[in-house]
Amino acid sequence: MPDPIYEHPYPTSEALARYPFEPLDHVRYTDAEMRERGTGLLAEMRRRRSVRMFSDEPVDRELIDTAIGTAATAPSGAHCQPWKFVITNDAAQKRRVRLAAEAEERTNYLGERMNDEWRDALGPLGTDHHKEFLEVAPWLVVLFEERYRIGADGERLHNYYVKESVGIAAGMFITALHHVGLVTLTHTPSPMAFLRTEFDRPENERPFVLFPVGYPMPDTLVPTLERKALDAVRVVTADEPEASTPPNPGDSQ
């Protein structure tokens, strides 16, 4: 019998005796399939753009729900799943959100809240305080982070790594929308506390991102932006030919 790779396999027998575990449902692809799937997804995601000109064409609620279902498969700290996706296609509500967002952004852009460095950074995006798209897009999806949970006796229960968990879910939501041919904008009207009141959410929830979702207007323009090259975002600290068998600490001579 070869030496096992793991001296301390997971789960421990103690955990296995106390909690339910099940076999991992994993699909193993061929090497060719893996490359194809990887490059295919990359090509698809390279076409994703943040959009600021939404069509008013309706979108089936089912498509939004499916994307939320995908987002909710995100990993989360201690599996707390500290996210809530609040969705609306109500015209009056979308209008109120637009007006509140524009009021805040007017102070940002036209008042003192934005310094010159920030203004300069936003220049190439060509954004301003007008947020008509919040009214035109068929759906607004507000992703709330659940800062803590309320227990059965009203006590506060800790959620772990909330920002990280909700950030990952947001990324998966964006990916899921793009995959079905919908567009969105990662919109963070600042400050956005008004969203908690508007959507009647409890004290323990805080708005994280506001996503208008829909189809793009025909002939929508997006800023010409370059994405960093792989070499600029990836650092290799070791590049050894991969061993065909994992090194065995017992085999030192």
CB of 53 to ligand IYR, least distance (A): 14
Specify the DSSP element, H or E, that contains 121: helix 116-122
Q: Which residue is nearest to ligand IYR (CB)?
A: 127
Q: Say if CB 176 and CB 70 are below 8 A apart.
A: yes
The gap from C-alpha 99 to its chain's centroid, in whole angstroms, comes to 25
Residue number, 76 or 195, with CB nearest to ligand IYR: 195
Query: Min. distance of Cβ 238 from ligand IYR in angstroms?
Result: 35
Per CB under 6 A, contacts with ligand IYR among 96-125 are: 105, 108, 122, 125
Supply φ then ψ for residue 237, to 5 degrees: -100, -15
Q: How many residues bind ligand IYR (CB under 6 A)?
A: 9
CA atoms of 115 and 240, how far apart (whole Å): 47
CB closer to ligand IYR, 157 vs 221:
221
First to last CA, the chain: 20
Closer to ligand IYR by Cβ: residue 76 or 133? 133
Where in 170-199 is the site for ligand IYR (CB under 6 A)?
Answer: 187-190
DSSP state of 77: B
Say whether residue 127 binds ligand IYR (CB under 6 A).
yes
Q: Which is nearer to ligand IYR, 130 or 196 (CB)?
A: 130
- For residue 105, the minimal CB distance to ligand IYR (Å) is 5
146 vs 198, beta carbon nearer ligand IYR: 198
Q: Angle 61-71/162-179 helices, nearest 10 degrees?
A: 140
Distance, CA of 102 to CA of 106 (rounded, Å): 6
8 A C-beta contact, residue 160 and residue 78 = yes
Which residues of the shown chain bind ligand IYR in the complex (CB under 6 A)? 105, 108, 122, 125, 127, 187-190
